Amino acid sequence: RLHASGENVGLPDGQMGNSEVGHLNIGAGRIIYQDLVKINMECKTGEIKKNPVLNEAFSYARDKGKQVHFMGLLSDGGVHSSDRHLYYLCDMTGEYGIKDVFIHGFGDGRDTDPRSGKGYMKNLLDHLENSNGRVASFIGRYYAMDRDKRWERIKTAYDLLVAGEGYKTRDILDAMQKSYDEGVTDEFMKPISVVGENGEAVGLLKPGDVVVFFNFRNDRAKELTIALTQKDLPEFGMKTIPLHYCTMTPYDATFTGLHVIYPKENADNTIGEVLSEAGKTQLRIAETEKYAHVTFFFSGGREEIFRNEERILIPSPKVPTYDLQPEMSAYGVKDAVIEAINTGKFDFICLN
């Protein structure tokens, strides 16, 4: 019997599987324990409090009087993040005596119910009553977690974080309900900026601040990280900010100047590595939305191409949502893989 969830694929018991987990386990040919499980355990045992990267960041913020910002997907979907990890991080800042702690939540609605975000926000606010921090903003993952270089979406999230551009409110739950009433659910929720008594946005990112991006999955965390820390994008009105920027896991091997809380322990002896060492040729092919899965995840968290490996990327369609083009780029992938098969040069082909 084939199982694709829970402990059978390295997830917590009862946790549904997902595309990342599936490709990782299939490529490795064995159970790979996920970041979610490892971080959950550290939170449960208190080991997270000993993490040197977090200790350095929070000590720096306390000693230099800097703000701390936590940003990431606010849900318990377990695919990209866990709100429980955020709770522990907030608790830690309280132990350090840091006063200016702000949370920038991203709406889920893909790995969770489309209207569950308000409940997650309520749970967070309840936790903060006995913890440390305040909510500064909220925006749908459609904007903040794009992975197809739709920089205009990232720009919307960037402007919220840096300039407070969005719907102004003193009551985040009320603002989220208004969005639901207008038919806009968690994934697509437009930027909401929490303001103080003076009407000014609270918790804007400022030079020298500490930022902790608490998503542990990398693919949808890359672009916002690029815009904030790696590369000026003047054509989209975005420039990098000098931040003490921490990521839960490594987001990209080419990124510089970041502080990784949990370095990856890449899986070895994956099928790609075994094929390469045996002198076999292999092809990885997918459209943009699944390219990371047939390359990075299928290779056990490895970015580099194996010897005798080739890759083909077919661009995903530039549409707002894929219900407008449900076939996506399937025909383009089909044509390319047929051409590759007909060459007779590949011993193994991985296609999604």
Which residues participate in catalysis according to the annotation? 19
Q: What are phi and psi for residue 51, nearest 5 degrees?
A: -60, 125
CA distances from 224 to 113, 149, 156, 234 (A): 24, 10, 10, 15
Question: Is 85 within 8 Å of 119 (Cβ atoms)?
Answer: no
Question: Is 170 within 8 Å of 202 (Cβ atoms)?
Answer: no
Place of tokens 């208190």: 46
Distance CA 146, CA 163 (A): 20
Q: What are phi and psi for residue 243, nearest 5 degrees?
A: -125, 155
Distance CA 326, CA 316 (A): 11
- DSSP states along 194-231: EB-TTSPBSS---TT-EEEE-----TTTHHHHIIIII-
Q: What are phi and psi for residue 85, nearest 5 degrees?
A: -65, -40
Closest CA to 149 of 86, 219, 202, 89: 219
Q: Please return the burial class of 61, using the count of CB atoms within 10 Å of its CB with bins 0-12, 13-18 and 19+.
A: buried
Distance CA 167, CA 190 (A): 8
